């Protein structure tokens, strides 16, 4: 059923709703955060039809949500958020995605860009040398079977125990870099083999390491709490669980297709929304395997952090000081959380796919420093454009299960992007802007051209205006490292 703008109910200048009664399948309304102009673009693909299908999931609570960076995905739209009742609502791999715990981490230096600008070229080259990138590219650390199982259970803490970070790093990672309930026995041997040499690697696609400077501060008080200042040199690390996470998703999609209808009598409007009850054996096994993949991703970003720190010390010859983690957030994950629904505290299974957790002030899961102001949120832009640091709000807890957008969001396919721009031309354009670039291929560079993405400034304005996250700082790139 193709939607038109006139069929949506306007809630505010930046929020719209598809009423529950619009489709016979929908169990809850569907809400979209977007400007009027952006909504016209969103309606051109199938993302809102997908959101309506999400609103039909068994056990879905309150509302199905689409963030302003929404675009069409597998089953769920990317930029989608949905919560199902615990423990008997469903869990759906399409609501998490193939790149389980694709996420982003921000490292902050104590240096001003003016003091470091002469080192940026060498620093970009050294990070490219230290951090393996590209499709299937492995790293220096090759895990034995028992080590892999420990990583899948312990996540970033295993890396810290083995010298790839400091204990205080863990306090600044969502869930301390370890999702509980992980069981390596639920991960196939094939998945483990695919991840065996991939810790400390970024892969390809839209994954990157970026060197940025803080261009603008919007909230001085929160910026001080976060340790951010104007002109500060920072680093973004964007990657996920690599081949291991992809294989976990593939394995369990195949398993759930086999049992969803015959064993559990579940019908869904779209086959890609295959799901099972969270409390079923298949649901428990998938959640345990997904937690393993999430932990692997946090371990991966921890290893890359170690590599970036090594590059920093090498280029600055030990005079750069420490690189501290501001925060690390997951973009593709399902978590059991407690939220208020119809005036009652309730446990739910929150699916975030291309969406970021945005817990507000006072949340007990945040460390004390952040509890005063809210959770840091890191929103990467497209290559060569701005990125943002935001802060979670009480309103997000009330409206969106403590969630907001995760980035700019694609507006055209990789194939179309390659037709529109050549990698060598984009490389030259970035260099003219003063951005140092290291990339594995010109084709990969073209696929991630800024024109392939929505306007990140507009995306951030929407969540800020909607009150589900608030702007703290804007970052601009000075160095880009891609596969």
Residues involved in catalysis: 406
Alpha-carbon distance 91 to 98, whole Å? 14
**Helices and strands, counts by H and E, the chain:** 16, 19
CB 54 within 8 A of CB 95: yes
User: Are the C-beta atoms of residues 334 and 349 closer than 8 Å to each other?
Assistant: yes
Residue with tokens 């009423």: 19
How far CA 115 is from CA of 118, 232, 309, in Å, comes to 8, 10, 18
Helix/strand/coil for 166: coil
Cα separation of the two ends of the chain: 39
Distance from the Cα of residue 385 to its chain's centroid: 18
> To which residue do tokens 């083999």 refer?
193
Q: Backbone phi, then psi, for 40, in 5-degree steps?
A: -60, -40
Q: Which two tokens stand for residue 73?
A: 């995905």
90-91/436-439 β-pairing: unpaired
CA distance 405 to 353: 10
Across the chain, which distance is largest between two alpha carbons, in Å? 65
Sign of CA dihedral 172, 176, 179, 182: positive
For 83-119, where are the alpha helices, taking DSSP H only? 113-116
Residues 6+ apart with CB under 8 A from 184: 148, 149, 152, 153, 192, 292
């Amino acid at each position: 059923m193709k939607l038109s703008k006139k069929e949506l109910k306007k809630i505010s200048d930046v929020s719209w709703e598809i009423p529950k009664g619009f489709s016979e399948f929908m169990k809850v309304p569907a809400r979209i955060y977007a400007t009027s102009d952006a909504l016209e673009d969103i309606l051109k693909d199938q993302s809102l039809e997908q959101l309506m299908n999400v609103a039909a999931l068994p056990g879905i609570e309150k509302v199905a949500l689409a963030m302003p960076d929404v675009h069409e995905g597998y089953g769920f739209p990317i930029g989608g958020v949905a919560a199902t009742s615990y423990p008997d609502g469903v869990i759906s791999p399409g609501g998490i995605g193939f790149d389980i715990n694709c996420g982003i981490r921000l490292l902050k230096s104590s240096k001003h860009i003016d003091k470091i600008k002469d080192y940026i070229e060498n620093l970009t080259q050294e990070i490219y040398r230290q951090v393996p990138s590209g499709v299937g590219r492995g790293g220096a650390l090759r895990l034995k079977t028992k080590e892999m199982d420990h990583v899948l259970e312990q996540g970033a803490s295993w890396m810290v125990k083995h010298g790839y970070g400091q204990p205080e790093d863990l306090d600044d990672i969502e869930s301390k870099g370890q999702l509980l309930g992980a069981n390596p026995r639920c991960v196939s041997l094939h998945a483990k083999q695919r991840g065996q040499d991939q810790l400390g690697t970024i892969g390809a696609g839209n994954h990157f390491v970026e060197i940025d400077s803080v261009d603008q501060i919007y909230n001085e008080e929160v910026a001080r709490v976060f340790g951010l200042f104007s002109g500060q040199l920072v680093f973004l690390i964007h990657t996920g669980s690599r081949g291991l996470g992809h294989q976990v998703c593939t394995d369990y999609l195949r398993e759930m297709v086999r049992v969803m209808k015959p064993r559990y009598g579940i019908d869904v409007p779209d086959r890609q929304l295959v799901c099972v009850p969270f409390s079923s054996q298949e649901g428990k096994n998938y959640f345990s395997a997904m937690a393993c993949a999430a932990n692997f991703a946090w371990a991966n970003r921890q290893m890359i952090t170690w590599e970036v720190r090594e590059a920093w010390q090498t280029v600055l010859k030990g005079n750069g000081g420490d690189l501290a983690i501001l925060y690390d957030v997951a973009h593709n994950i399902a978590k059991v959380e407690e939220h208020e629904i119809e005036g009652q505290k309730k446990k739910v299974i929150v699916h975030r796919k291309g969406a970021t957790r945005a817990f507000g002030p006072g949340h007990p899961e945040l460390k004390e420093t952040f509890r005063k102001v809210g959770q840091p949120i890191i929103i990467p832009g497209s290559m060569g454009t701005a990125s943002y640091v935001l802060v979670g709000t009480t309103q997000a807890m009330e409206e969106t299960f403590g969630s907001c957008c995760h980035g700019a969001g694609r507006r055209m396919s990789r194939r179309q992007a390659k037709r529109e721009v050549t990698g060598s031309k984009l490389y030259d354009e970035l260099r003219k802007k003063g951005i140092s670039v290291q990339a594995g291929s010109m084709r990969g560079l073209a696929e991630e051209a800024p024109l392939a993405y929505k306007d990140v400034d507009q995306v951030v304005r929407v969540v800020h205006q909607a009150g589900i996250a608030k702007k703290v700082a804007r970052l601009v790139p000075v160095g880009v490292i891609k596969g």
